[in-house]
Amino acid sequence: MRYKKMISFRTLRLPNVGVIGLLAKDVAKSSPACQNVARRSFNLTFNAAREFTAPASVDKPKSKTNMTNKSIFSGLEDMLFYTITEGAEKIPVSNFIAAVKNTGLLTSDPRLRDCMEKIREAIRESAGEVMMDRELFRKCAGGNIVLLSLAFRRKFIIPEFEAFVGIINHIYHTSKLQHDGHVTKYIPHLTKFSPDLWGVSLCTVDGQRHSMGDTKVPFCLQSCVKPLEYAIAVHEHGTEKVHHYVGKEPSGFKFNKLSLDEDDKPHNPMVNAGAIVISSLIKPGVNKAEKFDYVMEFVKKMTGREYVGFSNATFQSEKETGDRNYAIGYYLKEKKCFPDGADMIDALDFYFQLCSIEVTCESGSVMAATLANGGICPITGERVLSTEAVRNTLSLMHSCGMYDYSGQFAFHVGLPAKSGVSGAVLLVVPNVMGIMCWSPPVDKIGNSVRGIHFCQELVSLFNFHNYDNLRHFLKKQDPRRQSGDDM
């Protein structure tokens, strides 16, 4: 069964400046309950929306423009209210919250904090079931009118979110049937995780969220931290300086191989040698505690301040069993791969710490979505990484992110991704969403068996592969091509 035609994705971002005019126009057409209201007060034009300014201070005289702006927003709130209630004058607050969730927004979304706090306040002050009327809706939703307008008018990147979630759940359950692979043994602490654990979370560039399975269980990033530390290094120093020390090419060897390129540099930042050198570039000259806090702050910003932790047990395991990494470190030192003044043992220690940073599938999906969104966290709106850092990072994830399976993954899935021996797979669908999959059993290469299966199924059902659009373009150019099989 093919799902590709069921879900549409809005690839052109809708600027806020056009939301108000479009809302008034569309709702007046589609909602009979609002048509009289719209005719009476809300005959808006695009230019009227463009000229909106913030309301004047209470100690200033109310100008005609400010009165008009107030009337515009009051009317838009009414139209959105009647759209949500389907013409009813009031609905239970629980129905409103359910409607918000159906768009993909979580009630814990930082952007809805004020709205949800006012709803909780209304619930505390009420003896029975709270009914939401226009007055309560204006009080609760007034500060989020643009976000809620986009949500309920299906202007998010995934408009039919409920249908999309149904397909994601199906892929999750089919992937759960995969029982190959084994939990990583060479890092003792990782052996404690059950092979039955399996979680998938996604976050779109608009902040739509969905999770299935064991998505609140913390796990270590392991090699999934490599693209993050690389992105931070580029953000801090720029591309040229970083790649003075590390190459850009796939190595063709195992991730922990003692191997350098022909210029005596690590092949790329996604293998251990490259990641160890990158760790020496972050905040040089600063003590280890401050360096670690600096990276943790970046990761927390990328996750929208959701769960980020640290596993000291994994860190100690890494240090005690990291003979290969110590060998790589000394090899790098011999070949003078580190920047001047860098201490090899400190770089290794820092690298072990970074691998031991914990996330959950839920927080990890926001981190992936920040990369999908060009370095801006979708749920906070904060720019965390430069566009240069994100572009470079996604390029290297695409070519080198999946260990020795990177070429096949690029061929079959065609998306930037990074795996870790903890069972994590961080997947980025640029301009659409980020996904974090986690299941401890990994294959002989080190990739999560269920995670790989999920990614393959996802791309088989949706046109997410980087070159799927090329196929459709060619079909449009040549009408003789009736199907993708013709190519």
**pLDDT band per the 50, 70, 90 thresholds, residue 43:** very low
> Alpha helix locations (H) across 239-287?
239-242, 272-281
Model confidence pLDDT, tens digit, residues 14-40: 333 344 444 444 444 443 333 333 322
Distance of alpha carbon 415 from alpha carbon 406, whole angstroms: 10
> In the prediction, which pLDDT does 470 show?
72
Contact partners, residue 361, CB within 8 Å, separation at least 6: 199, 200, 201, 211, 213, 214, 215, 216, 217, 436, 437, 438
Contact partners, residue 332, CB within 8 Å, separation at least 6: 266, 273, 276, 277, 338, 344
With 0-12 / 13-18 / 19 or more C-beta atoms within 10 angstroms meaning exposed / middle / buried, residue 127 is exposed
Distance of alpha carbon 451 from alpha carbon 463, whole angstroms: 19
Distance of alpha carbon 82 from alpha carbon 454, whole angstroms: 39
Sign of CA dihedral 213, 218, 221, 224: positive
Structure tokens belonging to residue 433: 């969403």
Model confidence pLDDT, tens digit, residues 289-340: 999 999 999 999 999 999 999 999 999 999 988 899 999 999 999 999 999 9
Q: Above 90 in pLDDT, residue 58? A: no
What percent of the chain is predicted at pLDDT more than 90?
70
Q: Supply the mean pLDDT for the chain.
A: 85
> In the prediction, which pLDDT does 41 show?
29
Q: What are phi and psi of 437, to 5 degrees?
A: -105, 145
What is the mean pLDDT of the segment spanning 85-101?
93
In this prediction the pTM is 0.84
Model confidence pLDDT, tens digit, residues 435-482: 999 999 999 999 999 999 999 999 999 989 988 877 555 555 555 545
Q: Above 80 in pLDDT, residue 66? A: no
